[in-house]
Amino acid sequence: MVVGHREVLVFVDSDYADTPYDKWVAGTDVQLRLLVSAGKYAQYRHIDGARGFADYAGSGEADQAALETADRVRPHAVVARMEGDLLRAARLRELLGVPGQDWASASAFRDKVLMKRLVREAGIAVPEFAPVRVTMDLLGFVREHGYAVVVKPAFGSGSTGTRVLRGPGDLAELLRSGLPERAEVERFVEGPMYVVDGLVAGGEVVATFVSRYLNDCLSFQSGAYLGSVQLTDDRALIRRLDAYARQVMAALPTPSCTAFHLEVFHTPEDELVLCEVGSRTGGALSAAAILAATGFDVDQEWFRAQLGEDVSEPERRDAAGWVVFYPESGTLAALPDSPPSYVVEQRIRGVIGTEYQGGEKSGVYLAAYVVTGADEFEVARRADELADWYAAGVRWDSGAAGAF
């Protein structure tokens, strides 16, 4: 280890476009130690000290390598950006005595049952919910509360394994296919979903960004697009959601430094009801849209704050949002090119000639775009226009274009 360098150990399962760690530390005294999933390693292999792991999530090899690396070079910080890395990063910090989010905090943000218990104890509305340890727990909950209900993995992310049960037929289908491991069930909540993304630094919420979804996070199951637009006009609602997010974060064992991604229902009765909150940045192109609208890179600022550095101030620019499109079942034959001028960033993951089996989770997309406009309404209109443009250009092996 070079004397005076700050060693930073990072678990990496994100796209380089979101977390170009080498660019963020260029010209500083930071020495990166990146432990990267095999699926992302090609994007980071140019960085000195990056190591790839074939079974990044399941084998424990990345965990062992992290501990061995820390034994050689004590890290100044242990960084994890993705939901699936938060618990192991927290435990590693405790083993090493490194500051940052600990196990109790990470568990409260990862375990949806524990999260809702803590929030409810603070007097904040949550849906009726229960852990599903055995099938009888689910049957008993439905018997008591009726339909519709939502069943999801308590430690899940990206809406993977989430099912909405609207009647006995849906329940029977779920029971045939099997319950998610460590599942949770909750009452379905009517109303649009809003999002508050933000950053905590120095124990205080220092930035928040309020948006609403276009469609919903289960769009990947039906083939519809998922989008989001940041609120610009309803200042009263923006202030209300900002205050709500601060209350939720105060109700949880929030670390002194973390990004957060909070989802909340706004019911027809004008009540705010928590969906869930993660101690990480939002998925899809959430951070990219915030950057386009405010010049504030949530991922970079979170990284810098974990190293003890000052956080920048957001500056309002254009209104912005994002749109993602999901795989269908079949072989991808074509994707559209030359998007409209209001698209300021695009990311293409789809590979022509590859066979897909439909949508997997909300964060696994074929193509994604950041859209700008004068206000939230223009951004929403442009998102619909972009969906038409995309549907006209995408082609599958059957020759049928996607319908959105």
User: Partners of 367 in the beta sheet?
Assistant: 325, 348
The predicted structure's pLDDT at residue 362? 60
pLDDT digits (tens, 9 = 90+) for 363-372: 679 999 999 9
135 and 224 belong to one structural domain: no
- Cα dihedral 24/292/342/332 (nearest 10): 50
* Domain region containing 151: 128-187
306 and 366 belong to one structural domain: yes
Residue 167's CATH number: 3.30.1490.20
Positions of the chain with pLDDT under 70: 1-4, 157-159, 216-223, 361-363, 398-404
> Does residue 194 sit in helix, strand or coil?
strand
Output the pTM of the full model. 0.92
Q: Is residue 404 in a domain? A: no
Question: DSSP label at 365?
Answer: -
Q: Is residue 117 in a domain? A: no
Judging by DSSP bridges, how do beta strands 149-153 and 183-187 pair with one another? Answer: antiparallel
Distance CA 261, CA 204 (A): 15
The predicted structure's pLDDT at residue 56? 97
181 and 197 belong to one structural domain: no
The predicted structure's pLDDT at residue 404? 42
Distance CA 149, CA 151 (A): 7
Dig out the tokens for 177 from the structure. 């296919």
203 and 181 belong to one structural domain: no
Domain end position, chosen among 152, 170, 187:
187
235 and 315 belong to one structural domain: yes
321 and 391 belong to one structural domain: yes
> Does residue 290 sit in helix, strand or coil?
helix
Residue 259 main-chain phi, psi, to 5 deg? -80, 160
Q: Is residue 1 in a domain? A: no
The predicted structure's pLDDT at residue 353? 95
Report whether the peptide linkage leading into residue 148 is cis, meaning its omega lies within 30 degrees of zero: yes
Residue 324's CATH number: 3.30.470.20
> Does residue 187 sit in helix, strand or coil?
strand
DSSP 103-148: HHHHHHHH-HHHHHHHHHHTT-----EEEESSHHHHHHHHHHH-S-
Distance CA 332, CA 349 (A): 11
Judging by DSSP bridges, how do beta strands 149-153 and 329-334 pair with one another? Answer: unpaired
222 and 304 belong to one structural domain: yes
Residue 246 main-chain phi, psi, to 5 deg? -65, -35
> Does residue 203 sit in helix, strand or coil?
coil
Q: Is residue 123 in a domain? A: no
Dig out the tokens for 79 from the structure. 């960084």
Domain end position, chosen among 99, 117, 146:
99
Q: Is residue 401 in a domain? A: no
The predicted structure's pLDDT at residue 403? 43
The predicted structure's pLDDT at residue 49? 87
Q: Is residue 315 in a domain? A: yes
DSSP 52-120: EETTTTTSSHHHHHHHHHHHHS--SEEEE-SGGGHHHHHHHHHHHT-SS--HHHHHHHH-HHHHHHHHH
81 and 140 belong to one structural domain: no
183 Cβ partners below 8 Å, 6+ apart? 131, 132, 138, 151, 152, 153, 154, 161
Instruction: Residue 370: count other Cβ atoms within 10 Å of its Cβ.
Output: 24
Q: Which helix (H) or strand (E) element contains residue 385? A: helix 376-393
43 and 158 belong to one structural domain: no
Dig out the tokens for 270 from the structure. 């004008």
The predicted structure's pLDDT at residue 402? 45
Maximum separation of any 2 CA atoms in the chain, in Å: 65
Q: Identify which of 200, 282, 193 has the alpha carbon closest to the alpha carbon of residue 231.
A: 193
Per the CB < 8 A criterion, the answer to whether 79 and 303 are in contact is: yes
pLDDT digits (tens, 9 = 90+) for 76-119: 999 999 999 999 999 999 999 999 999 999 999 999 999 999 99
CA distances from 66 to 28, 157, 292 (A): 22, 23, 34
Residue 36's CATH number: 3.40.50.20
237 and 369 belong to one structural domain: yes
Domain end position, chosen among 146, 169, 187:
187
Domain count, the chain: 3
Q: Is residue 105 in a domain? A: no
152 and 10 belong to one structural domain: no
Q: Is residue 47 in a domain? A: yes
158 and 288 belong to one structural domain: no
Per the CB < 8 A criterion, the answer to whether 126 and 272 are in contact is: no
Distance CA 312, CA 296 (A): 7
